[in-house]
Amino acid sequence: MKLWKIRVHQILNEADTRPGLIYEYILFGFIWLVVTSVALESVRTIEEHYGLLLFIIQLIVLACFITEYFLRIIIPNQPLKYIFSFYGILDLLAILALSSVFFEYKLHFLVVVRILRFLRVFKVLKFRQLREESNALLNALKQSGNKILIFVFSFVLLCTCFGTIMYLIEPEESGFTSIPKGIYWCIVTLTTVGYGDITPLTVAGKTIASFIMVIGYGVIAVSALIVTSEANKHLSEEEKVSNTQTCSHCLESDHKDGALYCHACGNSLKDV
């Protein structure tokens, strides 16, 4: 491998080094630039006035993305590995999406997928602390995978049942024109989002709706309350333990409530 190849490889992939880190920041800048330009272009008034400027920005960024893509293919010994990797496909999609600025379709908005590359941030992170936190969170997610599965499953069951019932009860005027709409409404209500585009009008519908809301809120509120009072109970128990006797023999003071003999040396606690 030639020296310039090693150099470019280092810049592209090794965010630990200084040039690699700088490249990383520039890349992030470019991505935000193109995402912002695409977002602004979708606003009609801005598009009318600054359309050309945004078009030029997108062209420049497109050129940079293409250059980067080819460099990433040319440099390593196994180009296929990059092409079929998650980030490789993402980069290609972003280029294809952005290329559509030349055509009629408004698919270039999809360049937004490239911000998913920001997920790399979690890998690149220099700060050891942040990396650990991130791992702790992911770990917590993984360890509780089964609980999440049960949760989602119960959620789907509940929404299907109540969505159908609401469709049967409510008249057409209230917006429950089909079962899928009922299920959609049930999700909106159970998650406490509550748009208000579909709302029950009959007494029976409102009663069931109230019931669903209380479930949705209760899952969070009751859980929070249980944990709180549990935490406080735990705290007061600990305080109880720390207020007890001290052994006159070995000066051990952390005894069980109602202990008669020191658990460390066997001396009687009462003799004191």
**11 to 30, contacts with a copy of itself by CB under 8 A?**
none
- Out of 4, 52, 147, 173, name the contact with a copy of itself by CB under 8 A: 147
Q: Least CB distance from residue 99 to a copy of itself, whole Å?
A: 16
CA 208, CA 185: separation in Å to the nearest integer? 12
- Residue 228: CB atoms within 10 A of its CB come to 10
Using CB under 8 A as the binding rule, the residues of this chain from 111 to 140 that contact a copy of itself are 112-113, 115-116, 118-119, 121-122, 127, 129-130, 133-134, 136-137, 139-140
CA 188, CA 166: separation in Å to the nearest integer? 13
CA 28, CA 175: separation in Å to the nearest integer? 44
Residue 75 vs 186, nearer CB to a copy of itself: 186
Q: Least CB distance from residue 20 to a copy of itself, whole Å?
A: 21
CA 255, CA 246: separation in Å to the nearest integer? 8
Using CB under 8 A as the binding rule, the residues of this chain from 63 to 122 that contact a copy of itself are 106, 109-110, 112-113, 115-116, 118-119, 121-122
Residue 80 vs 141, nearer CB to a copy of itself: 141
Nearest to 173, CA basis, from 206, 196, 200: 200
Eight-class DSSP state of 198: S
Eight-class DSSP state of 257: T
191 binds a copy of itself (CB under 8 A): yes
Q: Least CB distance from residue 119 to a copy of itself, whole Å?
A: 7
- Out of 59, 228, 240, 272, name the contact with a copy of itself by CB under 8 A: 228
213 binds a copy of itself (CB under 8 A): yes
Q: Least CB distance from residue 68 to a copy of itself, whole Å?
A: 20
Residue 22 vs 43, nearer CB to a copy of itself: 43
Size of the site for a copy of itself (CB under 8 A): 105
Residue 50 vs 261, nearer CB to a copy of itself: 261
Nearest to 189, CA basis, from 171, 173, 176, 178: 176
